[in-house]
Structure 1
Amino acid sequence: MSKGSSNGCVWLFLIIIFLGALMWLVGAALWLLQFIIPIVGVLIALGLAVDSWSRVKQRRQAERLAELSRAELVSIATESEYRLNEIMSKWDAVARTMGIGTAFREAFSSGQATPELVQLRADLTRAERVSESLRAAIGNAEDADKEELVDVIEDADQLWATLTERYWGSSSST
């Protein structure tokens, strides 16, 4: 044999080894893809399900909003304002009749307010602010957008539920 023909065999052998290694890498990649593709598919399906759920929720809220008339919204807003004012009047009655209001003011003026008192003060301030926004929304019900009125009502109801649960230990109305 001549030296040139054995050199060609070596090159042919190296090319076959290279193609074999390349095919092995392609096979390994395909083997990994058989596990990755179903996982990615499930994640995409979950993402689509969450997206569709949120769109259905938005559509239902829009339908509910369209069904409610302004008079019903004003009625609901008035009831929400009444419930918040009821909580604030209970606090005022307790503060006046049991002397708690004086101790409350003294604790803040002396800088010895506990975190519970700070939370109570923040809750009462928020209740007053939400009650004022409800009153303003009721006064401007003719001009106000329905969505704004519903947002104010939802804020008031969430605050009422929070206050009721935090200070009376239940989420039911009294």
Structure 2
Amino acid sequence: MNKPKKPAFKPLDCDDMERSIQLCNGIEYLIDEFQREINGKEAVQLFNSNYKGHLLKVVSHLEELIHRLTYLTAKNNKEFYYEHLYTILISLNSCPNALIITAHYLDPDQEFKRLLNRNTFEFELGQIVKKIQFIKNVLGSLSIGRKSGVRNINHYFNQTKRTA
């Protein structure tokens, strides 16, 4: 008979963990929706308060995710949880900045407008999506108490730092 696998660690199955995973899904969806909305538009057509609002909604979700992860990190001082949650926070901390700056320049009421460099902006969005997808996997592993999703976390974030 096969014995059921025991979790390697006590699972972090709390409301903050569930909400964090929901936020990751929401951020992915909002970014995908935004990219579909601006697809094929000229840079001048992007000066629209709807686009600004959409980006700020993504920023709001990112900020809530950072806040919840900060709470989870402080609450779970065990080395295993702290190390992985803290590493996630470090990588995620600067993500809202590019979106806030872009939203500022897409504001049609802004006196000094700046055209959006689509390649650079799409690269930034791609980086955010990659981080969110990876973070979602790590959070899923932590929520059930397994190491499987967190094994390569240090390798992943060390590699990300070198390319940034």
TM-score (norm 2): 0.40
Higher relative contact order (CA 8 A, sep 6+): 2
